[in-house]
């Protein structure tokens, strides 16, 4: 269930409090779709709290684990080709909450995409780092890869919108995991931009994959979106 995590609830609070959705005057990157501007500096306390809850190894759910254990777990429970994997990157917990619900619905395996060098927990610094990575087209090293990747034919790929795009760490993941021949269901959370350019980023990064309709939710509405998540998952089945 979309249960109770203190960190996740804080993450929802972050989405509400930290993002100004009206007007794009302060936005450094042109965003497709809805205007999104990051809140001004100096308000990281809620973000820091939410980060703590969303990090690897700190989740209270049984389906979530840190990079190495989740890799092992994913490999161990994939029975044969045709398996379903939920692979997610989540900095502050919103997208992870969606991932956990999908895992529950499908009894799928969960893999957390994480950088080898952990990201900062500071919100403003994270904005800068993410933008620098995007401008420089950096592909940060991922902490671990999926074992037995070939045993999965369906990948649910979760991520937040970052500066209107797929986070570079997710592109790193896709560059190391060949999705050709697999069905990919994208899902994401955001603070107003929706998928923006994320779907075209996925299409670019996943040649040969069968990328299906995605699910995009506002980060601050995840806790009230359980039935929407369930409906989307059942439509895909």
Ligand X SMILES: Cc1cc2nc3c(=O)[nH]c(=O)nc-3n(C[C@H](O)[C@H](O)[C@H](O)COP(=O)(O)O)c2cc1C
**Sign (positive or negative) of CA dihedral 12, 18, 19, 23:** positive
191 binds ligand X (CB under 6 A): yes
State which of residues 5, 10, 36, 102 lies at the interface with ligand X (CB under 6 A).
Answer: 36
Greatest C-alpha distance within the chain = 51
- Please identify, using beta-carbon distances, which residue of 36 and 185 lies nearer to ligand X: 36
Q: What binding mask, one character per residue, do residues 211-230 give for ligand X by CB under 6 A, x or -? A: --------x-----------
* E strands in 63-118: 83-88, 109-112
Q: Which residues contact 121 (CB under 8 A, 6 or more apart)?
A: 47, 48, 51, 52, 55
Residue whose CB is nearest to ligand X in the complex, by number? 219
The per-type count for the chain, helices as H runs and strands as E runs, is 8, 8
- The footprint of ligand X on residues 71-100 (CB under 6 A) is 90-96
The residues in 117-176 that bind ligand X, with binding defined as CB under 6 A, are 126-127, 130, 160-164
Quote the least distance from Cβ 147 to ligand X, whole Å.
24
Contacts of 198 (CB under 8 A, 6+ apart): 159, 161, 165, 166, 186, 188
Please, is 226 exposed, middle or buried when counting C-beta atoms within 10 Å of its C-beta (0-12, 13-18, 19+)? Answer: middle
CB of 154 to ligand X, least distance (A): 21
Q: With respect to ligand X, which residue has the nearer C-beta, 53 or 83?
A: 53
C-alpha neighbours within 13 Å on the C-beta side of residue 47:
20
Q: Which is nearer to ligand X, 13 or 183 (CB)?
A: 13
31 counts as binding ligand X under rule CB under 6 A? yes
Give the nearer residue to ligand X in terms of CB position, either 65 or 92: 92
Binding site for ligand X (CB under 6 A): 11, 15, 19, 31, 36, 54, 90-96, 126-127, 130, 160-164, 189-193, 219
């Amino acid at each position: 269930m979309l249960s109770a995590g203190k960190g996740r609830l804080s993450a929802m609070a972050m989405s509400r409090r930290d993002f100004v959705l009206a007007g794009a005057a302060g936005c450094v990157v042109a965003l497709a779709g809805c205007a999104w501007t990051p809140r001004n500096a100096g308000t990281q306390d809620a973000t820091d709290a939410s980060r703590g809850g969303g990090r690897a190894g700190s989740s209270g759910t049984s389906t979530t684990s840190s990079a190495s254990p989740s890799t092992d777990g994913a490999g161990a429970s994939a029975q044969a080709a045709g398996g379903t994997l939920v692979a997610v990157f989540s900095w502050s917990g919103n997208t992870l909450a969606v991932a956990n619900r999908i895992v529950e619905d499908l009894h799928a395996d969960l893999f957390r995409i994480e950088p080898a060098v952990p990201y900062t927990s500071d919100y403003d610094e994270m904005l800068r780092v993410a933008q620098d990575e995007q401008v420089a087209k950096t592909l940060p090293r991922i902490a671990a890869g999926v074992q037995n990747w070939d045993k999965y034919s369906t990948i649910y790929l979760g991520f937040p919108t970052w500066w209107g795009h797929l986070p570079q760490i997710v592109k790193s993941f896709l560059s190391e995991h060949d999705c050709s021949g697999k069905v990919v269901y994208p899902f994401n959370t955001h603070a107003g931009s929706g998928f923006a350019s994320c779907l075209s980023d996925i299409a670019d990064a996943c040649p040969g994959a069968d990328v299906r309709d995605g699910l995009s939710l506002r980060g601050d509405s995840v806790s009230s979106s359980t039935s929407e998540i369930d409906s989307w998952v059942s439509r895909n089945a």
